[in-house]
Amino acid sequence: MKMLMADYRVGNLHSIKKALELAGAEVEVVTDMDRLLDAKCIVFPGVGAFDCTVSPIASITGKLKERLDAGVPCLGVCIGTHILFPGSDEGELSGIGFFEGRVRKLKSRTVPHMGWNTVEGKDPLMEDVPDNHFYFAHSYYCDPVSRDVVKGSTTYEGFEFATLMRRNNVVATQFHPEKSSESGLKFLKNFVSFAEDKA
């Protein structure tokens, strides 16, 4: 399975690329965002601010949504998940809008939410994951309109929010599987198998 990973020039892509390769994928990092439109599988990695991340794909967000609506497998991680929404409290630009809803500031006392936490929920992508602890590093969370897309959630300082979402063939995480040890690697292996089956 060959995946094209977007390089928005705002974050370190080495860890997610290496983790996906360990999970069995062939990963090519691209800076020409137009190439994403022909990808068999798209990866939107984490780390970065909303507007800086959206800016390189601003001219093709509509076409990207069409591709995702058509069933192209995709993995979004952290900020890569945020840009799949129409907009964010963190920025002014418009996202892809694949998920209905909005990205909002965390309603917890301590922000950012950094460190290990649990993801509660059932989804085939969590099958055989050693445990449900994953690594987080974020100040904003996704608030989807439809709860049907929410496949996992996390509670931080008494506030519960979506941390694993899926619609069609798009999988989106708030946590960082590439920083989540064996659980993260198994999750990514499950995604690679899922993407191979759908591509």
- Residues making up the chain, counted from first to last: 199
Active-site residue, 178 included: yes
Q: How many Cβ atoms sit within 10 Å of the Cβ of residue 158? A: 8
**Which strand (E) or helix (H) includes residue 61?**
helix 61-69
| Annotated catalytic residue within 82, 113, 142, 178 | 178
| Annotated catalytic residue within 78, 82, 113, 138 | 78
Active-site residue, 138 included: no
| Annotated catalytic residue within 82, 113, 138, 176 | 176
Active-site residue, 66 included: no
Task: Please report, to the nearest 10 degrees, the dihedral formed by the alpha carbons of residues 148, 197, 33, 60 taken in order.
Answer: -40
Residue 85: C-alpha distances to residues 24, 73, 74 (Å): 28, 16, 14
Side chain identity at residue 118, one-letter code: T
Side chain identity at residue 159, one-letter code: F
Task: Please report, to the nearest 10 degrees, the dihedral formed by the alpha carbons of residues 119, 120, 122, 123 taken in order.
Answer: -20
Nearest residue to 107 (alpha-carbon basis) of 48, 160, 166: 160
Rounded CA-CA distance 178/175 in Å is 9
Show which residues are catalytic: 78, 176, 178
